[in-house]
Chain A
């Protein structure tokens, strides 16, 4: 009951924000220097004079701004995000094809960074001044400072020429089957380097976060209680301290979904991973504005979805939020 109400409030809020993103997109098209028709067609696209004229009529570019805005929003509600003259395809279809690859990449990087980051943080928290802990601190500083596209290039260099044991470009091998287990394995193999590259940044951040929170948790009264009950260390840490350590990580991971997505644009470019990021790169190159703006909108949709999921996980992990207590 409470939960349903809460989720519907969140959805309403998300709807409002996404509407605002559409208005922003509309404003960007009109604020950009040059003819909006050309912007919609994409400057470098093969739009002929006929196409431009047709666009003027279709988007009512001779009418008032407000009318144009409603025309634009009306089109979006029917799933019309414009037409990519470079790819020669409706934008919505393009994005639909590219979303799965990006989700594979982003979600595996996320899972990897949360799991490995938390583990490193926990181990280093047990001896905060030990060698391992200092190593983790150094790794987390380095992971934070290294530009993700550079890490990617360095890994590409390492596995592309020095030690060629992993595929460095694309998502599949042309020579391999396109279905069944072999296909899955093929994709997973190709996923290793991009996901690692993207994950390293967040492993760095989460290990640091986990370390601080674990050190805090280990001095907490309830951990002392758990020890006073004679529980083995694995339960003291794995049950009592861990859950309290995970809460801030869940929060931060949710908040950072947008960053993760933007990082994917760079990583996909490095490894020619055929996702939305690669699409962004290609549309920047071709000045394909409808595609670019639609990607911005759908990335906002993904971020909103991530926020709602995070909130639900948070409520699941922390009963104090769930029951509206303190």
Chain B
């Protein structure tokens, strides 16, 4: 007799507890490799990082030195021209990328750590803890984040540390909401109940059982948070709230913006650098999202 092939739907892996740690990650990487936009974003970001790490040594012009006459258009000496003080723009871009990317990365990390902590506690415990934490989140959400960061930096001083902390402190509510929603969804699923029945404590349940399963959307939102943090750093520096002693893309824009009509190169290139970096990061975020939620891929 012919056997009948069952058409049973494949189990939805996102609903299963993440146990075998390596295979889902490998599978996600394979999926990611299939997204041309995501791969392109990753390649561009790696190139930018390499350029900021190696570029200053190769190009050999100090970004804070006067390299020529102020506002010299791009030429053979200064490939991308000089700024209002006569400093080399390309050198500034290469050096400034370090601060911009570092602030972006660290601020995003702070955002995610605060957001995930708040969200997981609220979602896992529910009840009065949830109510209280949701109120706190709501409070932070009514303050326009960039404006709040401006106030913090103005009051506490313009250093890279304050700028990074300020961006992290104002940006976490959306990560908290996301994490809370995931925890609310997951905490009543069978595998969580089973772990609880097996005597798992709250700490174990939150960190080892629920969180790993809530990670996919959190990873996507962490990626996007880096882009947002870079945009915030740019915005703060643009208003003169960056660290004046550390070259960054935003600082270059802010310092040169009054010369835009006379010297287009002074603002065009630093802004383009921010644009390309954020674009690359959001493409990576989309790629990861597609890799994690294959069902949604068609809709994008």
Q: Which of A's residues lie within 8 Å of B, judged by CB?
A: 17-18, 20-21, 24, 28, 31-33, 39, 128, 137, 141-142, 144-150, 153-154, 156-157, 160-161, 212, 215-216, 255, 258-259, 261-263, 265-266, 269-270, 280-281, 284-285, 287, 289, 292-293, 295-296, 299-300, 303-304, 307
Contacts and interface: CB of A to CB of B under 8 A. Distances in A.
Contact of B300 (A31, A142, A157, A212): A212
A139 B137 CA distance: 32
A284 B142 CA distance: 21
Nearest to B231: A147
A216 B300 CA distance: 11
Interface residues of B, number: 46
A141 B155 CA distance: 34
Contacts of A153: 253, 257, 260, 267-268, 271
B147 A295 contact: yes
Contacts of B276: 145
A292 B145 contact: no
Given A212-B300, A285-B240, A262 B271 contact: no
Interface string B264-279: 1001100110111011
Contact of A216 (B144, B151, B299): B299
B299 A266 contact: no
A137 B300 contact: yes
23 contacts: A18-B142, A21-B139, A21-B142, A141-B283, A141-B286, A144-B278, A145-B276, A150-B234, A153-B260, A154-B271, A157-B264, A255-B141, A258-B145, A259-B146, A261-B144, A262-B145, A263-B146, A265-B150, A266-B146, A266-B238, A269-B238, A280-B147, A296-B151
A303 B144 contact: yes
A293 B275 contact: no
A121 B13 CA distance: 31
Interface string B248-269: 0000010001001100100110
A270 B267 CA distance: 12
Contact of A141 (B143, B147, B235, B279): B279
A33 B239 contact: no
Interface centre among B141, B239, B267, B298 (most CB of A within 10 A): B239
Given A154-B271, A262-B144, A263-B146, 12 more contacts: A18-B142, A141-B279, A147-B234, A153-B271, A215-B299, A216-B299, A280-B147, A289-B154, A295-B147, A296-B147, A303-B143, A307-B142
Contacts of B235: 147-149, 262, 266
Contact of B241 (A144, A157, A161, A284): A284
A135 to B, nearest CB: 14
Contacts of A147: 231, 234-235, 238, 253, 271, 274-275, 278
B227 interface: yes
B138 A17 contact: yes
B145 A149 contact: no
Contacts of A265: 146-147, 150, 239
Contacts of A255: 141
B157 interface: yes
Nearest to B235: A266
A150 B151 contact: no
A37 B74 CA distance: 49
